[in-house]
Structures are given as C-alpha cells and as structure tokens.
Amino acid sequence: MNSLNIIRHVMTAAIVGTLISGFAIPAGAADATDARSITVKFGDLNVSSPDGAAALYSRIRSAAKTVCLPAQSSSDPFKSEFDNCVHKAIADTVTKVNRMELYTVYNQHNTPALPTSLLSQQR
C-alpha cells in the first residue's frame, strides 16, 4: 500500500471517528445507543487541490446534516440544535482531517474561522 493510500485510510478513520464520537442525538431525545455515523469517502479526490478540498467539505457537510437530522424540527429551539450539531460536526471533522486546503474551505464558509495554527501542532 503506498503512502497516499495510507493517508487516505487514516483520514477516513478520522472522519468516521469524528462522526461516531461527535454526532450523538441530543441527550433529551434519545439515549447514547442511538448515536449515528456516516463514512465519508474521498479516495477519489485530490484534497490538496482547491476543488478537491471543496468537494470533501461538501461531502462532510452533507454527512453532518444527515447525521444531525434527528435534531431538526420545525420549532426554533430544535432548529438551533440542528444548526449547532452540524456546525460542530463539520468543525470537528475538518480539525481531525487536518489539511490546510480543507481549513481554507471551512473558513470561507464559517465564522468564526478555525485556527490554522493548530495545523502545525497536530502533524
């Protein structure tokens, strides 16, 4: 297995780990055994390119929305809960993937921006 494939497997594991640990249904809605996760595959993407990073961000965002969906409701408190869940899931996953290009895409779409100073500390 070449180093690129190893890196992709590690990133996939990081994303899955984030989805498993960070996407629990809100405590009041269900117990912890109902936690959901989604595997985000990106072996077909060149995450080092702006287009590849944008495509991965889109996949992460879509997975976060799907996993957080049980928190969504028509009433405002639940909408806020859903938005918070999605935002946290995306931020956690971007941080775990730890790629400058993905931080850049995240920071273009979100405020506050994720600190890229963490990037060099985690590598």
Q: What's the mean per-residue pLDDT of the chain?
A: 75
pLDDT one-digit tens code per residue, 78-119: 678 888 999 999 999 999 899 999 999 999 999 888 887 655
Report pLDDT for 76.
Answer: 57
Closest CA to 103 of 60, 111, 88, 95: 95
pTM score: 0.65
pLDDT one-digit tens code per residue, 27-84: 334 434 356 788 899 899 999 999 999 999 999 999 999 998 875 555 555 678 888 9
Compare 42 and 25 and report the one with higher pLDDT: 42
Residue 105's contacts (CB-CB under 8 Å, 6 or more residues apart) are 50, 53, 54, 56, 57
Q: Phi then psi for 53, rounded to 5 degrees?
A: -65, -40
Residue 26's region, left for phi above 0, alpha for psi from -120 to 50, else beta, is beta
